[in-house]
């Protein structure tokens, strides 16, 4: 058997390499000044064989007669030369706005980038692959303006993505994802290796084609297709290790004991710890974390002919968390085909299958590891888990060991499409997409007893099943026509319908045996069975239209409209039109600019449009009977159903509407060496959902009802500049910078209730969403030094001579009496900053010299605040950070660190820290084997690389990570957050 496979492989090799190859040499020059072009790429088309020109612009490579050579260089128009007997070539490359000819996906169609009048940022699949991660969005961080990515460090976690600021409070703030036309909100099933490009529709003019779902921005993902030519096999993969990027220096046992006993002494309590406790000194963070393995392997094959093309791939992604027992694995399969049935009819499909398994550990383990007393051993001499009854922190290692929480999922996402061209200028396209997700969850809580408070007395097995079925059917008719040679017109009209169905099922039983193989409900106690199911459904039907007109490639007009009907809104209120208009002027095409040689392109553009956000629960406007309000009569033995109306609702609820104006400039100079784009946007969202308060007399369940109340303004500037240069020595480099400024403000709430949020779970809240402030602003008492003595407390008096802080003790914070009413109360809280950065930016750079390439990506943000929630969430006798050695006490006064205390700390500015950070996201060093060598081993191309992800971070924040995703009101709080990790990996890319 083995031999046969070997023979087969040998045959394959033979086939691939069988053909008469000869050495082709040549020189590449610039058509303008006849100067040689070093560093130009010369490739044998569809083979991955190729080389790079030397200092004199010369090249040589092996090819066959009839092969097509592709010669490309930055800023030049790519040329294809079919070998027709020549063995020596002189190739003249023309200067071209190659950059501008780029075609981008705009939603229900494509457009030349040069014709675009809206603001769209794009990134190529190659660029995404540089930062290995679960989702392509993680790899987009720092690369695009107007797109803020906040990563969670946990394996299998979705990053938080905000396009041009936060434009909602209670609705979903995530962008809309469109994968090959299929609308979704989760792209964790997409293998980054399968992606050609991602385009982000940022302004209303480009996003209005997605109407009521476009307001948070739209991320369009296009997966790879096959292409005509020989079969092409590619492998790329990497393997690496991850470690925690920054640790927090915690107190050792000695310091902890001193602090805890000192805190108790202020409450006249006896010491809880003695010197014997200092014999143990556990580093709990070490105990719960590990050096983790991460790897990815992808194999793809593509090819095709005039009748059909194919792209197929198989991928594996495996990521261990730095948290022990926490991991995520995914397998992907993709098959994308096109079939040219007749000259006028083309059929095609995209199909992605994926499967994942995740082992989940609660992130609160990180908080527990932070708080656990170092005097407690992980396990004692007898092998029992250590604990102390002096605080309420459970043994975090025991928590990990007793957590059995696994999730699985299968997903099929794909579409079939047909394109018919007729009457020369018309194209009809119909596409039917399906997205089916089958997720499972299993949680087993075993019986255990670590201590009186960390225990579980009866085992429970819970199984979950979630099914999502989503179809979307798009029909578009496009008419494109050039009139004369100056007028160009493209009109698209279409319909789309979409249905989302989702059902959830959950069941549990107690006393299921502890061995994993028995984790079936049938083995549990029948009397303890619980089960529950729910279904959700929403539908959208829409009519779309777009008109593109350009005159002489100079004056550009785009008019877009979408008429959306959504089942999420009341019948009399469910249809709405989202129009937009965009104008562009390519000054560089004007006759009067033709003399400016160095200017390749200059375009100014402006747009206005309306977009919506319908990301709310389906029944939000309906009065319904709530079931489950049951009551068990006869001492609990006869459970009877109860149901009633408990919520007051707004029966005329509307979507949120964003009106956005965008002004932009795009330019390209010196043969594309310098390119740049600057945008200003003004994005006002109206009818934003907020809870309006209700007096308790209405008896509403949560004393409020959701209604369209608030106005939000996001205003910002985006700036991107890139420079690329190829030097004669074969030394190429490029640098780029992008910067986004965004100002978020809640402008009006029209009597709605400001939302107080950011709960730490110990009675303290930290954020308030209110007029005049960014959404989710920190709202805290401001500290003003520390009372050094009782005299200072006695001297802090109001006008009547009463003590402002009568309960304070020396060593406590003096709090500012902001409203000067002589007492410290809730009215003295003030806004202290927001988790939303004013600026976020990235610097990217790359150098290549001959066969080596080096690139660096960085990311940072400025002007935001983060709250050290884990430090603030005290109940008593938790561990402390090492710098609390410098705390206030009578012998060593301090004016910055308060006395030891076991009181629940107030939400003060003491716990608020700068969120500014700057991080090297990625450094990669690669080596590509010279063609002469790779040919010898029958390989088209071979590149090896080493990458360091997040190797260096500069931050002010003392915690584990300044990247703290959360919902609109609760982000920026480090509590149960997954620390950022650094990854070091080796990768291989090989093509046949």
Residue 492 C-beta: closest distance to other proteins, Å: 15
Q: Is 869 helix (H, G, I), strand (E, B) or coil?
A: helix
* Given 32, 642, 772, 886, the residue binding other proteins (CB under 8 A): 642
Using the rule CB under 8 A, is 262 a contact of other proteins? no
- Per CB under 8 A, the segment of 334-342, 393-401, 592-600, 897-905 that binds other proteins is 897-905
Using the rule CB under 8 A, is 639 a contact of other proteins? yes
**Radius of gyration of the chain measured on its C-alpha atoms:** 31
- Per CB under 8 A, the segment of 51-59, 512-520, 538-546, 967-975 that binds other proteins is 538-546
- Per CB under 8 A, the segment of 297-305, 311-319, 331-339, 536-544 that binds other proteins is 536-544
**Which lies closer to other proteins via its Cβ, residue 530 or residue 789?**
530
- Per CB under 8 A, the segment of 139-147, 294-302, 537-545, 926-934 that binds other proteins is 537-545
Residues 6+ apart with CB under 8 A from 875: 391, 392, 762, 902, 904
Residue 693 C-beta: closest distance to other proteins, Å: 6
Using the rule CB under 8 A, is 798 a contact of other proteins? no
Spatial separation of the C-alpha atoms in residues 404 and 365, rounded to whole Å? 14
Residue pair 689/655 in contact by the 8 Å Cβ criterion: no
Half-sphere exposure of 644 (CA within 13 A, CB side): 8
* Given 33, 457, 799, 800, the residue binding other proteins (CB under 8 A): 457
Residue 563 C-beta: closest distance to other proteins, Å: 8
Task: Calculate the CA 415 to chain-centre distance.
Answer: 25
Q: Which residues pair with 239 in a beta bridge?
A: 295, 986
Q: Is 147 helix (H, G, I), strand (E, B) or coil?
A: strand
* Given 22, 267, 821, 956, the residue binding other proteins (CB under 8 A): 267
Using the rule CB under 8 A, is 573 a contact of other proteins? no
* Given 276, 381, 527, 937, the residue binding other proteins (CB under 8 A): 527
Residues 719-758: x/- map of binding to other proteins (CB under 8 A)? Answer: ----------------------------------------
Task: Calculate the CA 903 to chain-centre distance.
Answer: 38
Residue 462 C-beta: closest distance to other proteins, Å: 12
Interface of this chain with other proteins, residues 156 to 195, rule: CB under 8 A = none
Interface of this chain with other proteins, residues 700 to 719, rule: CB under 8 A = 700-701, 703
Q: Which one-letter DSSP state was computed for residue 530?
A: E
The beta-strand segments (E) located in 671-703 are 674-693
Task: Calculate the CA 619 to chain-centre distance.
Answer: 28
Interface of this chain with other proteins, residues 672 to 701, rule: CB under 8 A = 693-701
Using the rule CB under 8 A, is 510 a contact of other proteins? yes
Residue 220 C-beta: closest distance to other proteins, Å: 23
**Which lies closer to other proteins via its Cβ, residue 535 or residue 790?**
535
Q: Cα–Cα–Cα angle for 11, 14, 16, nearest 5°? A: 110
Q: Which one-letter DSSP state was computed for residue 903?
A: S
Interface of this chain with other proteins, residues 413 to 452, rule: CB under 8 A = 452
Residues 177, 181, 182, 187, CA torsion sign: negative
End-to-end CA distance of the chain: 25
Using the rule CB under 8 A, is 795 a contact of other proteins? no
Size of the chain, expressed as the number of residues it contains: 992
Name the residue among 371, 420, 363 with its Cα closest to residue 394.
371
**Which lies closer to other proteins via its Cβ, residue 543 or residue 843?**
543
Interface of this chain with other proteins, residues 863 to 882, rule: CB under 8 A = 875-876
**Which lies closer to other proteins via its Cβ, residue 14 or residue 536?**
536
Residue 752 C-beta: closest distance to other proteins, Å: 12
**Phi, psi at 267, each rounded to 5°:** -95, 15
* Given 254, 355, 438, 539, the residue binding other proteins (CB under 8 A): 539
Using the rule CB under 8 A, is 541 a contact of other proteins? yes
Q: Is 254 helix (H, G, I), strand (E, B) or coil?
A: helix
Tokens standing for residue 183: 């609308």
- Per CB under 8 A, the segment of 252-260, 560-568, 603-611, 679-687 that binds other proteins is 560-568
Interface of this chain with other proteins, residues 814 to 853, rule: CB under 8 A = 825-826
**Which lies closer to other proteins via its Cβ, residue 471 or residue 918?**
471
Using the rule CB under 8 A, is 389 a contact of other proteins? yes
How many C-beta atoms surround the C-beta of residue 820 within 10 A?
A: 9
The full 3-state SS of 556-579, as one line of letters, equals EEEEEEEEEEECCCCHHHCEEEEE
Using the rule CB under 8 A, is 371 a contact of other proteins? no
Residue pair 160/149 in contact by the 8 Å Cβ criterion: yes
* Given 16, 904, 944, 986, the residue binding other proteins (CB under 8 A): 904
Name the residue among 323, 329, 316 with its Cα closest to residue 407.
329
Using the rule CB under 8 A, is 253 a contact of other proteins? no
In 328-462, alpha helices (H)? 364-371, 396-401
**Which lies closer to other proteins via its Cβ, residue 574 or residue 887?**
574
């Amino acid at each position: 058997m083995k031999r046969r496979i070997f023979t087969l492989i040998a045959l394959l090799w033979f086939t691939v390499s069988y053909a008469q190859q000869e050495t082709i040499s040549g020189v590449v020059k610039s058509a303008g000044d006849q100067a040689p072009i070093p560093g130009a790429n010369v490739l044998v088309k569809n083979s991955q064989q190729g080389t790079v020109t030397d200092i004199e612009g010369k090249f040589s490579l092996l090819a066959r007669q009839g092969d097509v050579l592709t010669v490309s260089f930055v800023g030049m128009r790519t040329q294809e030369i079919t070998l027709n007997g020549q063995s020596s070539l002189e190739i003249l490359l023309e200067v071209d706005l190659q950059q501008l000819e780029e075609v981008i996906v705009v939603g229900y169609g494509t457009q030349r980038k040069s014709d675009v009048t809206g603001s769209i940022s794009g990134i190529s699949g190659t660029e995404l692959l540089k930062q290995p991660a679960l989702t392509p969005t993680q790899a987009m961080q720092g690369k695009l303006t107007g797109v803020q990515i906040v990563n969670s460090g946990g394996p299998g976690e979705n990053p938080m993505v905000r396009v041009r600021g936060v434009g909602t409070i209670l609705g979903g703030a995530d962008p809309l994802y469109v994968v090959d036309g299929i609308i979704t909100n989760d792209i964790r099933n997409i293998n980054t290796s399968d992606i050609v490009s991602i385009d982000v529709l940022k302004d209303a003019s480009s996003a209005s084609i997605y109407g009521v779902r476009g307001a948070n921005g739209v991320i369009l993902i296009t997966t790879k297709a096959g292409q005509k030519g020989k079969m092409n096999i590619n492998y790329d993969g990497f393997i690496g290790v991850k470690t925690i990027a920054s640790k927090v220096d915690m107190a050792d046992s000695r310091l902890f004991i001193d602090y805890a006993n000192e805190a108790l002494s202020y409450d006249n309590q006896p010491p809880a710890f003695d010197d014997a406790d200092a014999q143990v000194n556990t580093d709990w963070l070490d105990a719960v974390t590990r050096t983790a393995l991460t790897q990815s392997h992808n194999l793809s094959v593509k090819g095709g002919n005039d009748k059909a093309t194919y792209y197929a791939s198989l991928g594996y992604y495996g990521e261990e968390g730095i948290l022990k027992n926490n991991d995520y694995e995914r397998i992907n399969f993709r098959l994308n085909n096109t079939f040219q049935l007749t000259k006028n009819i083309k059929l095609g499909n995209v199909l992605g299958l994926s499967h994942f398994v995740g082992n989940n550990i609660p992130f609160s383990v990180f908080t527990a590891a932070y708080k656990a007393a170092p005097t407690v051993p992980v396990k004692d001499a007898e092998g029992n888990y250590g604990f102390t009854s002096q605080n309420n922190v459970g043994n975090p290692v025991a928590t990990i060991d007793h957590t059995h929480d696994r999730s699985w999922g299968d997903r099929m996402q794909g579409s079939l499409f047909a394109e018919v061209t007729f009457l020369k200028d018309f194209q009809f396209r119909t596409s039917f997409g399906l997205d089916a997700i089958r997720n499972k969850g299993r949680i087993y809580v075993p019986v255990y007893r670590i201590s009186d408070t960390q225990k579980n007395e009866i085992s429970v097995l819970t199984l979950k099943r979630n099914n999502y079925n989503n179809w979307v059917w798009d029909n578009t008719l496009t008419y494109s026509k050039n009139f004369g040679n100056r007028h160009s017109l493209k009109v698209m009209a279409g319909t789309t319908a979409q249905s989302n169905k989702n059902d959830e099922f959950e069941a549990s039983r107690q006393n299921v045996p502890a061995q994993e193989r028995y984790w079936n409900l049938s083995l549990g106690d029948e009397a303890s069975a619980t089960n529950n199911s729910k279904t959700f459904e929403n539908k959208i039907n829409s009519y779309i239209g777009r008109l593109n007109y350009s005159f002489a490639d100079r004056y550009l007009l785009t008019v877009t409209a979408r008429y959306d009907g959504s089942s999420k809104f009341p019948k009399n209120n469910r249809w709405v039109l989202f129009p937009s208009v965009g104008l562009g002027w390519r000054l560089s095409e004007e006759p009067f600019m033709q003399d400016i040689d160095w200017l390749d392109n200059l375009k100014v553009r402006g747009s206005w449009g309306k977009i919506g956000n319908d990301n709310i629960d389906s029944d939000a406007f309906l009065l319904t009977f709530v079931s489950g309000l049951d009551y068990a009569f006869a001492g609990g033995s006869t459970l009877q159903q109860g149901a009633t109306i408990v919520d007051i609702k707004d029966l005329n609820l509307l979507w949120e509407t964003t009106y956005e104006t965008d002004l932009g400039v795009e330019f390209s100079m010196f043969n594309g060496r310098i390119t740049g784009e600057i945008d200003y946007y003004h994005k006002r969202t109206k009818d934003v959902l907020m809870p309006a308060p209700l007096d308790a007399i209405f008896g509403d369940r949560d004393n409020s009802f959701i209604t369209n109340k608030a106005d939000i303004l996001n205003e910002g500037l985006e700036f991107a500049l890139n420079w690329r240069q190829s030097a004669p020595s074969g030394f190429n480099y490029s640098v780029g910078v992008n910067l986004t400024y965004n100002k978020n403000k809640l402008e009006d709430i029209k009597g709605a209730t400001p939302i107080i949020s950011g709960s730490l779970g110990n009675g303290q809240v930290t954020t308030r969403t209110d007029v005049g402030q960014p959404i989710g602003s920190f709202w805290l008492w401001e500290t003003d030094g520390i009372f050094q003595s009782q005299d200072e407390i006695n001297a802090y008096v109001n006008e009547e001579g009463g003590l402002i802080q009568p309960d304070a003790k020396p060593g406590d914070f003096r709090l500012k009496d902001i409203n000067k009413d002589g007492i410290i109360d809730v009215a003295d809280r003030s806004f202290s900053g927001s988790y939303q950065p004013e600026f976020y930016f990235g610097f990217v750079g790359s150098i290549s010299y001959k066969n080596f390439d080096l690139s660096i990506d960085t990311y940072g943000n400025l002007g935001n605040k983060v709250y050290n929630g884990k430090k603030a969430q005290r109940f008593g006798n938790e561990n402390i950070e090492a710098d609390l050695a410098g705390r206030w006490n009578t012998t060593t006064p301090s004016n910055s660190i308060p006395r030891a205390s076991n009181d629940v700390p107030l939400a003060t500015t003491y716990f608020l820290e700068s969120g500014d950070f700057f991080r090297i996201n990625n450094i990669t060093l690669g080596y590509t084997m010279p063609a002469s060598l790779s040919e010898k081993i029958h390989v088209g191309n071979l590149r090896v690389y080493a990458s360091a992800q997040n190797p260096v971070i500069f931050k002010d924040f003392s915690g584990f990570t300044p990247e703290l995703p959360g919902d609109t009101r609760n982000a920026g709080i480090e509590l149960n957050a997954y620390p950022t990790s650094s990854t070091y990996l080796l990768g291989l890319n090989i093509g046949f």
